[in-house]
Structure 1
Amino acid sequence: MGIYSFKLPDIGEGIAEAEIVAWHVNPGDWIEEDDPIADMMTDKATVEMTSPISGRLVTVAGEVGDQVAIGAVLAVFETAGDDAPVAVPVGAPADTSTPRPTPAADALEALVVPEAPHVAPPPADAPAGPRTGWLPKILASPAVRERALALAIDLAEVKPGTDGRIRHGDLDAFLSYNAGYRPATTLRGDEQFKVIGLRRRIAENMAAAKRHIPHFSYVEEIDVTKLEVLRLDLNTNRGDRPRLTVLPLLITAICKTLPDYPMMNALYDDEAGVVTRKGAVHLGIATQTDAGLMVPVLRNAQGLNVWQLAGEITRLAEAARDGSAKSGELSGSTLTLTSLGALGGIATTPVINRPEVAIIGPNKVVERPVLRDGRIEAAKMMNLSISCDHRVVDGWDAANFVQAIKRLLETPALMFAD
């Protein structure tokens, strides 16, 4: 029998600590090598930590919401033999060359594990059982696990996707296939939960943006009747190319307008008092996920045509929702676009994605009567909202920027003219 202390590895450049956002195991579980044990969130991404060995989990570094320093002990395992990977013994003096652990990890390193009977690995034919026993590896995000728990679904009974991971669609398929399945209905009581992980990052970023940035918003209505005709024609003849929504066309108009309004595509370092006007358009696409709002970045949008934009929007949204987005795809935006799609409402006052200086929010397209040359006609109308940092963007410039976008959207042929 041996004891192995698994230290949190360096999971990102410049990262000093990571937050525990989910445990997939409990003390006492038998863990196979490469089984997922925890999800750790940094400033840039959520990383799934897997076990480097097979063994019985003795104890863990802390609870969901706790921070663990890089190099601190994340979990302690009891192994079946003496051939476990070399590790710092539990209770050994701390290595001063690594960051100090959190208080929870301090207590973990001070733990003295008593002698215990020899622990053998589970037999090959061991049956599946609850998490406190032996269980085949189940890959699922915290949100999927929470939903399955609420529906009283045993994830071991759900068929995963081709990559072995269970997603919300797999839960839907399980419910559809099991037509007689009816989860127990009970009165939902009060509940408290920690604001952790992505939700905490969102809360901190939104609070910082509103605390530091004096926002102002401007809304203009746009007649997109001709734009919708163009979009319909393009989709009818798209072949195997992705279907166009309004967003790729709007992005094309934004990119064509920005050279005349460089202050809108800028970053403001308010501590240094420096504004950096960016040449390339790295457009943040606000995306709703099960875990909360994420902003994957569509890089060099100014160099992509409408089909390429549509493809990238879909790819980035799917990557954000299934957790496969790389850290580099979640940072570095210069201007953000946020859309609620069909829920877009009449107008929005979006919060700026600091340190950017503007955020654009298209609202839903609605057909309504308009007056043209004394005649009432039906038209497709869409309101376009923009919020700006009033410290560096004047209302006059924001209004003119939106009016320039409006001209392109109302006469879409201009978007494709040199």
Structure 2
Amino acid sequence: MAKFIFNMPDVGEGVAEAEIVEWHVKVGDTISEDQHLVDVMTDKATIDIESPVDGVVTEVAGEAGDIISVGGMLVVVEVEGEVPEDVADEAAPAPAPAPEPANEPAPSPAPKPAHPEPVEGSSSSSGAALEEKDSASTSSARTEEGAAAKNSAKVLATPAVRKRAKELGVDLSQVKPAEDGRVRHGDLDQFLTYNSGYAAAGPARADEEKKVIGMRRRIAENMAASKRNIPHFSYVEEVDVTDLEEMRAQLNANRGDKPKLTILPLMITAICKTLPDFPMINARYDDEAGVVTRYGSVHMGMAAQTDAGLMVPVLKDAQAKNVWQLANEITRLAEAARSGKATKDELTGGTLTVTSLGPLGGIATTPVINRPEVAIIGPNKIVERPMYVPDGNGGERIEKRKLMNISISCDHRVVDGWDAASFIQALKKLLETPVLIVSA
């Protein structure tokens, strides 16, 4: 038998460390070559690390949330015979043990039983009665569970969402997705929050402690740094998008093999046409160096909700693309982010961000700036309301119109309130005269 120390491999140029997201093996497990050992994350990309050898795991480097340096010990495996030379060369043992984490990791917890132990009614005196009662209800309960499982199986959802719904006892077929027919964690949250009747049908959900790790920890750190370092202010204006929506419908009706347009590519085109007169909005602020860089090109970040958390893929040179090209790129980048395949280049380099909650957009939002950018724009949901409009004879008439609020948050160190308000007013004029958006 030989001991093989598998060190943290180099997972990318310039990467010095990675965070453990989830272990797929534990001490005592017998593993095989190419078996999935652990998920680690660096630069917003999650990477699967596989075993280079067969053997038995005798030690792991820490628990979820710990940081492992490249070249530091990741896992120790006891192997039969000698370690093959090519494997030993590829992942040679470090000359000295890797530093221990600040808090010594707790022993790996024992596997939890498939079903929790009963809390009440477990005494021997009541056991027989409970068993008899359970037997009488087992058949109908299994029938109901089977029907719910069958319905849930037809719903589009990731394995993580299905697992969570199963743990909560939620039938996914009852959850209405916010977009594209796929149920996501946010949809499940909405269902649990607002469907009080469903919640009342069973016992209260048990309290749960969940360690903040991986993407969620990165998001927490970035948001905290943004609010801590940037004096935010927000401005909201109402825009009449009736004509814009009518133009969008006409474009879609005659699009041929082009992608279907949402309002987002039209919004981004309008923003790009407005920015040349407001260069202070399309900028990044290096507060350590005290330098503001105003960009000529618009590298538009798009805040996208994924199962792993909020990600911001970047539309490079958005000002050089027409609405159809933007629609294609928006779809491609959003899918890459949701599937975890977005590259580092596709997730960095933004100069301005647009964030939208789609149909959940609300009346107004105060979005948090994606530091070191200095502004973020948030279109809200479109609603229909009666408005006074000119009747063509010098008077007014009441008409049903489609209205949408646009929010902007800015870094008050480098953007004045007047500038932000003037920018949104110029953008409003363009959105309310949509022919100007698609004209040269």
Bin the TM-score by the shorter chain.
Answer: 0.7 to 0.9
2:119 maps to none
2:196 maps to none
Q: Secondary structure at the match of 1:326?
A: coil
- When normalised by structure 1's length, the TM-score is 0.78
2:275 maps to 258
2:96 maps to 94
Is contact 1:69–1:102 with CA below 8 Å preserved after alignment? Answer: no
Greater shift after overlay, 74-83 or 15-24? 74-83
Letter in 2 for 1:29: D
**Equivalences, count:** 353
Is contact 1:69–1:101 with CA below 8 Å preserved after alignment? Answer: no
1:35 maps to 35
Residue 243, structure 1, aligned to residue 256, structure 2 = no
Letter in 1 for 2:250: D
**1:188 counterpart (181, 205, 211):** 205
Letter in 2 for 1:282: H
Aligned mates of 1:202, 1:219 — CA distance in 2:
25
1:395 maps to 417
Q: Secondary structure at the match of 1:312?
A: helix
Question: How far did residue 346 of structure 1 move?
Answer: 0.6
Q: Secondary structure at the match of 1:380?
A: strand
Q: Secondary structure at the match of 1:248?
A: helix
List per-residue Cα deviations over 1:362-403 (Å, max 9, x = no partner).
001111111113210011111100000010001111111111
Runs of 5+ consecutive residues of structure 2 not aligned to the other structure: 106-113, 115-157, 169-181, 185-201, 391-395
Q: How does 1:32-71 map to 2 (within 5 A)?
A: 32-71=32-71
Residue 103, structure 1, aligned to residue 108, structure 2 = no
Q: How does 1:296-315 map to 2 (within 5 A)?
A: 296-315=313-332
Aligned mates of 1:146, 1:62 — CA distance in 2:
26
1:371 maps to 388
Question: How far did residue 83 of structure 1 move?
Answer: 4.2
Residue 268, structure 1, aligned to residue 266, structure 2 = no
- When normalised by structure 2's length, the TM-score is 0.75
| Structure 1 vs Structure 2 CA RMSD | 2.7
Letter in 1 for 2:292: V
Is contact 1:71–1:101 with CA below 8 Å preserved after alignment? Answer: no
Q: Are residues 251 and 383 of structure 1, via their aligned partners in 2, closer, same or farther at CA, if it must alter by over 3 Å? A: same
Is contact 1:61–1:104 with CA below 8 Å preserved after alignment? Answer: no
Aligned mates of 1:240, 1:405 — CA distance in 2:
30
Aligned mates of 1:327, 1:50 — CA distance in 2:
22
Aligned mates of 1:359, 1:254 — CA distance in 2:
11
Q: How does 1:318-397 map to 2 (within 5 A)?
A: 318-373=335-390, 374-397=396-419
Q: Are residues 357 and 44 of structure 1, via their aligned partners in 2, closer, same or farther at CA, if it must alter by over 3 Å? A: same
Q: Secondary structure at the match of 1:256?
A: helix
List per-residue Cα deviations over 1:347-376 (Å, max 9, x = no partner).
000000000000000001111111113210
Letter in 1 for 2:166: L
Q: Secondary structure at the match of 1:288?
A: strand
1:413 maps to 435
List per-residue Cα deviations over 1:98-119 (Å, max 9, x = no partner).
xx54438999xxxxxxxxxxxx
Q: Are residues 29 and 251 of structure 1, via their aligned partners in 2, closer, same or farther at CA, if it must alter by over 3 Å? A: same
List per-residue Cα deviations over 1:100-145 (Å, max 9, x = no partner).
54438999xxxxxxxxxxxxxxxxxxxxxx9xxxxxxxxxxxx835
Question: How far did residue 4 of structure 1 move?
Answer: 1.5
Question: How far did residue 267 of structure 1 move?
Answer: 0.4
Aligned mates of 1:9, 1:304 — CA distance in 2:
39
2:307 maps to 290
Letter in 1 for 2:88: V
Q: Are residues 29 and 401 of structure 1, via their aligned partners in 2, closer, same or farther at CA, if it must alter by over 3 Å? A: same
Q: Secondary structure at the match of 2:288?
A: coil
Letter in 1 for 2:69: A
Letter in 2 for 1:305: N
Question: How far did residue 152 of structure 1 move?
Answer: 6.5
1:181 maps to none
Question: How far did residue 146 of structure 1 move?
Answer: 7.5
Residue 151, structure 1, aligned to residue 173, structure 2 = no
1:23 maps to 23
Is contact 2:43–2:344 with CA below 8 Å preserved after alignment? Answer: no
Q: Are residues 149 and 5 of structure 1, via their aligned partners in 2, closer, same or farther at CA, if it must alter by over 3 Å? A: farther
Is contact 2:66–2:101 with CA below 8 Å preserved after alignment? Answer: no
Is contact 1:68–1:101 with CA below 8 Å preserved after alignment? Answer: no
Q: How high is the sequence identity, in percent, across the aligned residues?
A: 64
Runs of 5+ consecutive residues of structure 1 not aligned to the other structure: 108-129, 131-142, 154-166, 170-184
